């Protein structure tokens, strides 16, 4: 991935960034994340999926799910992303709600993977699942280690909130870190 130039030097990312303002809907935030995720998770064995929200608020899914194809008939979740519109990203309740949604989605994904892999109740998945929460132009990075049900900050993020343009170098570093952490699953399935 060293061959990738900084994403904010690419016209496409500048355009998508400029489309996000305080009145934007969530789809504007999702557009930049679609392109960022596809840019970094490009290996043939990664699947990047954008999910529509369920009308049932108890059954929300992550906005983006990155899975690795572990066999011709199976996938495993490796990264989930929850994005929210740009409403008041400085407000704690916006982050708390989005992190809660992401946590629930990650636990559900882990449980689904356990069922698919035939892991019994007392056993745990051998790998962590990673998560990103984005509120407007700001993001935070997390990891869910087995068997925990609480997200932890991705190492190196120090609970910081990162701006998609102003902190692009850090975000690129974290994407590289996520790919490095999940690529063993790709290589073992190839």
With a CB cutoff of 8 Å and minimum separation 6, the contacts of 111 are none
What's the pLDDT at 53?
Answer: 46
**Average pLDDT over every residue of 147-166:** 93
For residue 186, pLDDT over 80 is answered with no
What's the pLDDT at 140?
Answer: 96
**Average pLDDT over every residue of 129-158:** 93
What's the pLDDT at 3?
Answer: 63
CA distance 114 to 119: 5
Mean pLDDT of the chain: 83
What's the pLDDT at 157?
Answer: 95
**Average pLDDT over every residue of 72-98:** 80
CA distance 96 to 92: 6
Q: What angle is formed at CA 96 by the lines to CA 46 and CA 101, rounded to 5 degrees? A: 40
Query: What does DSSP say about strands 162-163 and 138-144: parallel, antiparallel, or unpaired?
Result: antiparallel
- Domains, the chain: 9-189 (3.90.1570)
């Amino acid at each position: 991935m060293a061959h990738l130039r900084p994403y904010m030097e690419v016209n496409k990312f500048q355009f998508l960034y400029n489309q996000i303002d305080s009145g934007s809907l969530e789809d504007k935030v999702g557009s930049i994340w679609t392109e960022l995720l596809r840019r970094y998770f490009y290996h043939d064995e990664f699947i990047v999926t954008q999910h529509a929200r369920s009308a049932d608020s108890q059954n929300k899914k992550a906005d983006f799910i990155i899975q690795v194809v572990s066999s011709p008939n199976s996938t495993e979740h490796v990264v989930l992303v929850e994005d929210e519109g740009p409403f008041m990203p400085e407000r704690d309740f916006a982050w708390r709600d989005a992190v809660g949604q992401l946590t629930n989605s990650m636990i559900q994904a882990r449980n689904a993977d356990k069922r698919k892999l035939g892991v019994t109740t007392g056993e745990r998945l051998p790998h962590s699942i990673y998560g990103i929460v984005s509120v407007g132009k700001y993001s935070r990075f997390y990891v869910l280690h087995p068997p925990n049900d609480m997200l932890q900050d991705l190492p190196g993020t120090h609970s910081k909130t990162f701006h998609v343009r102003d902190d692009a170098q850090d975000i690129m570093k974290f994407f590289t870190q996520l790919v490095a952490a999940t690529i063993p699953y790709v290589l073992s399935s190839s």
